Structure 1
Amino acid sequence: MPTLIHPHFIAHYRRYFALLFIILMILTPTFPKVAPGEHLTQIQIKDFITAQTRNTPTTYYEGRLGPTGFEYELMHLFAEYLGVSLNMNAKHNPESVLSAVREQGDLGAAALPLLPATSGVHYTRPIIQMQPLVVYRRGLYGIQKPGDLVGLELGTLSEAGTSEALRELQRDYAALSWKESSELEVAELLAQVENGMLDAAVIFDHQFRLNRLFFPNVERGFLLGDPLSMVWAVPSGRGLGLLEAANQFLQDLEESGSLNHLINRYFGHDDYLEYVGTRTFLAHLDARLPSFIDLFQQAASETGFDWKLLAAVGYQESHWDAEAVSPTGVRGLMMLTHPTASEMGVDNRRDAAQSIDGGARYLRSLKNRLPESITGNDRLYMAMAAYNVGLGHLYDARKIAEMRGGDPNLWRDVREALPLLQHEEWHSQTRHGYARGGEPVIYVRNIRRYYEMIEYVERSRQQFFQLEQAGNDSMSMLPFELVPPLSQ
């Protein structure tokens, strides 16, 4: 005989399960359905992608040829891959980049390290490896191993990834301590080591190679910990279309060899002006310069410069090598960019006559375009600086010089201001942003040095020639190894 359930009992349990269902519906989070390609589709509709980045040498800055930087070039290629234009937002540090990606999108590209458990973002496949490196102030000895860092004034950048290596090290050396900053960039950190505010710092190896020439009192120490992976970041929760597209793009770039080519172009060498020893310069003076003296003298007569000054510029640019080509595409004896060559009517940059003539006229045009308030040698030195870094950055440095209470018409004050274009505190207040501001300072200094050496050798040879003409056959030509003091 079947068991009968009382109707009131059934009604009671119906109410119970209905209440339970309502509670579960309240407590269970609901997620809107996101199409896999929703974010990517939005980018394609608006026809541009916004990159959240930093104004640094390894990411993005305005260089001699216009916008440049390792990650800028990658982002530009990725935008072309998507068929959209590129919009840059470079007012960030590593920490604020991720916040901007979460809140605004579209892509974070700022030497970001692949770190675990980062909420609100997805990371792409690795792009390059970044090796932490200890650097220290010249004169501090015995910094050869991790334990030597204990007790030092040590600094690094927060959220850049280098602090992870220090935290790992702290497990073995509990007394290890360091300072972190989210406001500084690498050049500013190195400056603190240079001036004694810090004893040492941890940055990435490729960053030191790009900056070392400007900080002669900072020594390379030792590699610290394991390398980290540089990645891009995209916001999570908006579909995986953009992430998948970025990963496919990076994979294709790697398989084609183009990524490795770009890495070598930026980090496979020290992308800064080389200091050339006196013996090397004198060897080139005898072996190379005679072939170009007539061309320098002709260009000088047409532009009003001393031919020896133009020769010094040519040596600084290419070591008097008419076939020279830089990794950034400038070429020829005077290393003209393609736009500059076009502006000067030079159709073959490797033709020495065209290159010297075009370079001399370009230097003259820069000098003519400077404000009339800049006079004398100050005008010449600023024109040479603009030849290297561009008029826009030179004007930014003049503005900084004035902000610091200096005279924007004096090279000595502008020379002090130019390196500040490497510091976010200053370049954020300028029109053209970050620049390798230390480079034009070294550039002008080297040209002045080479000019003095050419003049010294020419004057000495003329003196010897006059003695020989007077019948002093016993006087022979001597090698000139003495370097004149560098005037500041």
Structure 2
Amino acid sequence: MKYPGSQKHGISYPLRSIGAALLALLLAACGPKPIEGPEQTGILVVVTRSSPSTYYISPSGQPTGFEYDLVSRFAEANGWRLRVEAVASLDELFERIDNGTAHVAAAGLTATPARDLKYTLGPKYAEVTEQIICRSEKDLPKRPKDLAGKRIEVVANSSHVDALWWLRLRHPSLKWSEVSANGEDELLERVQSGLSDCTVADSTAFTIARHFYPDLGVAMELGKPRPLVWLMPKNTPLALSKKLEEFFAALKKSGELKQLQERYFGHIQRLEEADVRGILERRTSLLVRYRPLFQQAQMETGLDWRFLAALAYQESHWDPNATSPTGVRGMMMLTGETADRLGVKNRLDPLESILGGARYVLTLKEGLPVRIPEPDRTWMALAAYNMGMAHLEDARRLTASLGKNPDAWKDVKDVLPLLAQSAYQDKLKFGFARGGEARYLAENVRIYYDILLKYEPAYQP
């Protein structure tokens, strides 16, 4: 059977694959020398790609991300040093595994039959669904035949290409262009800006990215969920594969894998579209006016100015004259009592309000037990910012009584709504509280902070 090619390639898919394989064999003869295993060198070499769902540099300048935390724990569990190298494209990532100059590729990669034949696959640690993403300002395509004539771009060498080939067997009019890119985010941005009509992205990646690109929507899903795995060279020693299986088994059993998933993805429920559009629009009008004030608060408290701006947007939409029916006022919506304790004389003065709110967050963070790690410590402080430290402590005690971890935001946030339920009132020292609102504030601030991290530069005085 003859298979048609994509727009980028005029030769058929099977012939292209055979040609690529032959070329890889020729290059392997004169390519770089494979490195020894981590058991011999004491160094685990990992290749990844920079993206919000895998690996990135934090505002403090430190490497972070879901995949980074996983490989760090794997290296530490085996007493190895870690070297993580972010590559510019999937082509380069696979090349590093092909030529043996990296031990592991950890980059949000799905398991596919082709990859199973070519590489050693690690254990499944999550699942994603491949989705066709298009601009949603008009009617989204509902069926594959609706994609005919659309300008579709897809990351070259990704599993998304395979998914489109299978779809094209049933819909021959489907065409696309393959783009050598770091990941889906680059192509999502092109769809948002109108440079293309649609792309393909994993569900987790798009759930994060849609907070940056409010005009995009899911047109359809491509097949069933696929497992995420790490890739290793085909000749990887069995001992290393076994260590990886044992590591993930222990991570799942201890609950640490779920905690990491919560840390990076627990807040990515969809905001109302108006909220996303609102912060993106006000960022270029209002935020530019108040940015120096947030940066001044960062200098005083050490809290990232973008975090403080995210909190202010949640509280007042950056309106210095905001006032609620309950009496809280100003940019950071401080109560009169809190303002007095913080030395804020005029809550409607933007600088006083921002400085007061920043000091209050810092005070709440310092009031939590030292054993609570970041970022859980910050999210709990945000909940206390909304409902008070006494009610947060009620929530933590209730969390412990329910057999959960009172020091983990993942568990505490699930318990917060119970503070408003009559069935639990006899267990609360400080009585009724709208814990659901506190959870809502903390989760929204996390999303707004993600948006500002993407679009606003760090402040380095």
**Structure 2 length normalisation: TM-score?**
0.57
Please name the residue that 1:241 is paired with.
239
Q: How many residues align?
A: 308
Which residue of the other structure, out of 293, 299, 306, is the alignment partner of 2:339?
293
> 1:229 is paired with a residue of what secondary structure?
strand
Q: CA deviation at 1:154?
A: 1.3
Structure 1's consecutive aligned runs of 4 or more residues displaced over 6 angstroms after TM superposition are: 277-281, 314-320, 332-335
Please name the residue that 1:361 is paired with.
none
Please name the residue that 2:142 is paired with.
144
CA deviations 1:120-150 (Å, max 9, x no partner) are 5311121211111222213221423333222
Q: Distance in 2 between matches of 1:167 and 1:187?
A: 22
Alignment check: 8 A CA contact 2:35 2:102 kept: no
Please name the residue that 2:203 is paired with.
205
Q: CA deviation at 1:220?
A: 3.4
Alignment check: 8 A CA contact 2:343 2:356 kept: no
Matched, 1:57 2:55: no
Q: Distance in 2 between matches of 1:313 and 1:149?
A: 49
Alignment of structure 1 residues 379-458 onto 2, 5 Å: 438-439=452-453, 441=455
Matched, 1:308 2:349: no
Matched, 1:252 2:266: no
Alignment of structure 1 residues 84-99 onto 2, 5 Å: 84-99=80-95
> 2:211 is paired with a residue of what secondary structure?
helix
CA deviations 1:342-382 (Å, max 9, x no partner) are xxxxxxx979xxxxxxxxxxxxxxxxxxxxxxxxxxxxxxx
Matched, 1:331 2:328: no
> 2:376 is paired with a residue of what secondary structure?
coil
Q: CA RMSD in A?
A: 4.2
> 2:217 is paired with a residue of what secondary structure?
strand
Alignment check: 8 A CA contact 2:119 2:232 kept: yes
Please name the residue that 1:44 is paired with.
39
Larger Rg: 1
Q: Distance in 2 between matches of 1:51 and 1:100?
A: 10
Q: Distance in 2 between matches of 1:48 and 1:254?
A: 25
Q: Distance in 2 between matches of 1:317 and 1:176?
A: 55
Cα distance 1:329–1:183, how it changes in 2: closer, same or farther (>3 A)?
A: same
Which residue of the other structure, out of 67, 72, 96, is the alignment partner of 1:100?
96
Matched, 1:192 2:190: yes
Q: Which amino acid aligns with 1:286?
A: G
Alignment check: 8 A CA contact 2:136 2:217 kept: yes
Please name the residue that 1:165 is paired with.
163
Which residue of the other structure, out of 89, 114, 118, is the alignment partner of 1:117?
114
Q: Which amino acid aligns with 1:329?
A: D
Q: Distance in 2 between matches of 1:240 and 1:284?
A: 65
Cα distance 1:299–1:222, how it changes in 2: closer, same or farther (>3 A)?
A: farther
Q: Distance in 2 between matches of 1:317 and 1:61?
A: 25
Alignment check: 8 A CA contact 1:62 1:68 kept: yes
Cα distance 1:223–1:117, how it changes in 2: closer, same or farther (>3 A)?
A: closer
Q: Which amino acid aligns with 1:247?
A: E
Q: Which amino acid aligns with 1:170?
A: R
Q: CA deviation at 1:312?
A: 6.3
Please name the residue that 2:64 is paired with.
68
Q: CA deviation at 1:282?
A: 4.5
Q: Distance in 2 between matches of 1:121 and 1:128?
A: 19
Cα distance 1:294–1:318, how it changes in 2: closer, same or farther (>3 A)?
A: closer
Alignment check: 8 A CA contact 1:284 1:319 kept: no
Q: CA deviation at 1:211?
A: 1.6
Alignment check: 8 A CA contact 2:148 2:173 kept: yes
Q: Distance in 1 between matches of 2:220 and 2:361?
A: 32
Q: Which amino acid aligns with 2:339?
A: I
Q: Which amino acid aligns with 2:38?
A: I
Alignment of structure 1 residues 243-282 onto 2, 5 Å: 243-270=241-268, 276=314, 282=323
Q: CA deviation at 1:298?
A: 5.1
**Structure 1 length normalisation: TM-score?**
0.54
Identity within the alignment, %: 23
Alignment of structure 1 residues 304-383 onto 2, 5 Å: 306-311=351-356, 328-331=375-378
Cα distance 1:333–1:230, how it changes in 2: closer, same or farther (>3 A)?
A: closer
Q: Distance in 2 between matches of 1:316 and 1:443?
A: 22
Q: CA deviation at 1:76?
A: 0.6
Q: Distance in 2 between matches of 1:240 and 1:114?
A: 19
Alignment check: 8 A CA contact 2:364 2:389 kept: no
Q: CA deviation at 1:438?
A: 4.7
> 1:270 is paired with a residue of what secondary structure?
coil
Q: CA deviation at 1:56?
A: 1.4
Q: Distance in 1 between matches of 2:244 and 2:118?
A: 17
Alignment check: 8 A CA contact 2:90 2:180 kept: yes
Q: Distance in 1 between matches of 2:454 and 2:176?
A: 33
Alignment of structure 1 residues 218-229 onto 2, 5 Å: 218-229=216-227
Q: Distance in 1 between matches of 2:76 and 2:153?
A: 39
Cα distance 1:255–1:195, how it changes in 2: closer, same or farther (>3 A)?
A: same
Alignment check: 8 A CA contact 1:51 1:106 kept: yes
Alignment check: 8 A CA contact 1:158 1:180 kept: yes
Please name the residue that 1:429 is paired with.
none
Alignment check: 8 A CA contact 2:46 2:85 kept: yes
Q: Distance in 2 between matches of 1:315 and 1:141?
A: 46
Q: CA deviation at 1:307?
A: 0.6
Cα distance 1:75–1:255, how it changes in 2: closer, same or farther (>3 A)?
A: same
Q: CA deviation at 1:308?
A: 2.2
Q: Which amino acid aligns with 1:45?
A: Q
